[in-house]
Amino acid sequence: MGLFAHIREDIDSVLERDPAASSRTMVVLCYPGLHAVWSHRISSKLWRVKMRLAARMLSQIARLCTGIEIHPGAEIGRRVFIDHGAGVVIGETSIVGDDVTLYQGVTLGGTGNEKGKRHPTLRDGVFVGSSAQILGNICIGENSRVGAGSVVLRDVPPNSTVVGVPAHIVYQNGERVLITDPSQVKDPLSHVILLLDEEVKRLRARVDCLDGQLEQTTRDLDDVKALASEEEERDQYRSEQSGTGYFSMGEGI
């Protein structure tokens, strides 16, 4: 595909995904995300031919103009749309597939000083909400969605939606995913959550036991009351009959 065909394809992808884009002229002149992607395509070519300094200088100029930092070593696919874009950072070994949408504040970053592949891979059709942080050499599967403000530290399977800090799956293949095991939430305080879960289970068992004892005690009291009521009725009957002269105390019953 030629240069102008790529440019036309990028513009059309913005018009399809952003209802605020009303014309091609507006997209070309007013969309910094598009400018950043176009600039990256040039800096990436310079990076691949070992013109590293020129590539980095161009990427820094694009950063100053757009507020978006894309390392020249990153691989960016076709029809990538960076909406608004301010504060977006894409690391050196990041791989971004086709038809990916990124909002402002998104970071595709590393987790330390490790060498080699240390940044995320976003497969085709991924959507990443504003201020989401995707960190480390992990993979976000095709057509998955990352909620705004999420911190993703693990691989995400295709056709999934993840939210939270750290992010966990809430939808997969269009179906709601309910977390029933606290160990599924990979949180720094997961062990505390597990201890609380065990404590809740222990207290629930204790309450069930006490409820059973209370029910048994209530039934015993009801039996005692029933016997007392019967005895009271007998005493009243004897008292009434004793006044008639037909029965003496203890007779006739």
Looking at the DSSP bridge assignments, the partners of residue 134 are 108, 152
How far apart (Å, rounded) are the C-alpha atoms in residues 158 and 48?
30
Per-residue DSSP letter, 77: -
pLDDT in tens, 53-94: 999 999 999 999 999 999 999 999 999 999 988 999 999 999
What string of pLDDT tens digits covers the 253 residues of the chain? 677 788 899 999 999 999 988 899 999 999 999 999 999 999 999 999 999 999 999 999 999 999 999 999 999 999 999 998 899 999 999 999 999 999 999 999 998 777 889 999 999 999 999 999 999 999 999 999 999 999 999 999 999 999 988 888 888 988 887 776 666 666 666 667 778 878 898 898 888 888 888 888 888 787 777 777 777 777 776 777 666 555 555 554 4
Q: Sign of torsion, CA 22 27 30 32? A: positive
In order of 52, 76, 81, 206, 248, the CA distances from 135 in angstroms are 24, 17, 20, 43, 97
- pTM for the predicted model, two decimal places: 0.72
Pairwise CA distance, residues 81 & 87, whole Å: 15
Grouping H, G, I as helix, E, B as strand and the rest as coil, residue 207 is helix
Number of Cβ within 10 Å of residue 127's Cβ equals 20
Query: How far is residue 192 CA from its own chain's centroid?
Result: 20
The Cα 38–Cα 9 span in angstroms is: 12
**DSSP strand pairing (101-102 vs 127-128):** parallel
Cβ-contact 58, 42 below 8 angstroms: yes
Contact 106, 126 (CB under 8 A): no
Question: In whole angstroms, how large is the CA radius of gyration of the chain?
Answer: 36
The structure tokens listed for 228 are 């007392």
Phi then psi for 111, rounded to 5 degrees? -120, 5
